[in-house]
Amino acid sequence: MKQLDQFDSEFSQILEDNRSGSVKVLHNFIIWLKRLAESGLGLELLIEHIGEKLKQVCETHQNLVVVDSFREAFLLDSHQFLNTKEIVEWIVNYEQIWENTNKVLASLLMGEEEFGGKTILVHSNSHTIVEVLKYIKQQRYSFDVIQTESRPMFEGRQQSLDLLEHGIAVIFITDSSVAKIMPDVDMILLGADQFNQQGFLNKIGSYTIALAAKQLSKPVYVLTDSRKEVESFSESNQQPRQEVWPDSPDEINIVNHYFEVVPLSLVTRLITETGE
């Protein structure tokens, strides 16, 4: 079906996105989903197609549990939809429930720390972190941000551009410079793709940052929403070796993992929108 082919082509970009955090991936998927729901497809075909695409996203982005949470909520209610308009209304309602989460996280964080004149270290590319810093900036606080490059996909570059767009000054560093620059840091803000009572799962390099911060008694805050809580963490799958060293000799074993688990013992506080 030609109409579906066009949407599927756009969907493939979401499926291949390995630079964005979980909330951003879900945000982009929801934008695509609303357009699909308003495209005039029949109800049964639409629900079936959405189910298939949600399954693909969850299988591709296994560590991004907010997508799986959205899928479970949608499938739970999908049998109640009488027409495509109700699907759109359901999506809008889901967004409204979660849209204020980042402001709540920012408010809770500002209750912990003073931000005027501070230098903040951030890592990888987190929609949550960008939105929290954007909100704090809007409260007329002036601060600087140190951003890691976040190898192997260099998604720190995109986060730097996003922060710059909101008028936030950025110092860009290589991942291996974290320990050297840590004396100049006042606090560290990290996102999370999963968390439980023992630790949190985040982009590779987060553990090193937390260890360096602990050594110099720098506060580390993990900002996430309650949808990401899990009983056990997903396995960190080996990623393409070419991302680390293109055209490397076959005899060299290239290890490339995107995620790692960081113990909460290295964290000052993990903050969710519930305040817990």
pLDDT digits (tens, 9 = 90+) for 175-205: 999 999 999 999 999 999 999 999 999 999 9
Q: Would 73 be classed as within a structural domain?
A: yes
Give yes or no: residues 109 and 243 share one domain: yes
Give yes or no: residues 29 and 78 share one domain: yes
Give yes or no: residues 50 and 135 share one domain: no
Listed as own residue / partner, the contacts of 102-109 with beta carbons closer than 8 Å and 24 or more positions apart are 102/128, 102/131, 102/132, 102/135, 103/135, 104/273, 105/132, 105/223, 105/225, 105/271, 105/272, 105/273, 106/131, 106/132, 106/135, 106/136, 108/271, 108/275, 109/136, 109/189, 109/221, 109/223, 109/271
CATH assignment at residue 116: 3.40.50.10470
Residues of the chain with pLDDT under 50: none
Give yes or no: residues 122 and 243 share one domain: yes
Q: Would 149 be classed as within a structural domain?
A: yes
Give yes or no: residues 77 and 21 share one domain: yes
Give yes or no: residues 156 and 231 share one domain: yes
Distance from C-alpha of 119 to C-alpha of 155, rounded to nearest angstrom: 20
Give yes or no: residues 60 and 162 share one domain: no
Give yes or no: residues 105 and 84 share one domain: no
Helix segments in 61-100, DSSP class H: 65-77, 84-98
The number of domains in the chain is 2
Per the listing, tokens 């390995």 go with 18
Give yes or no: residues 156 and 227 share one domain: yes
pLDDT value for 24: 83
Average pLDDT of the chain? 91
Q: Which of 47, 70, 98 is the last residue of a domain?
A: 98
Q: Which of 54, 70, 98 is the last residue of a domain?
A: 98
pLDDT value for 156: 97
- Residue 162's domain comprises 101-271
Q: Would 276 be classed as within a structural domain?
A: no
Cβ contact 54:70 at 8 Å: yes
Q: Which of 98, 129, 161 is the last residue of a domain?
A: 98
pLDDT value for 166: 95
Q: What is the DSSP letter of 245?
A: S
User: Going by C-beta distance under 8 Å and a sequence separation of 6 or more, which residues neighbour residue 142?
Assistant: 116, 117
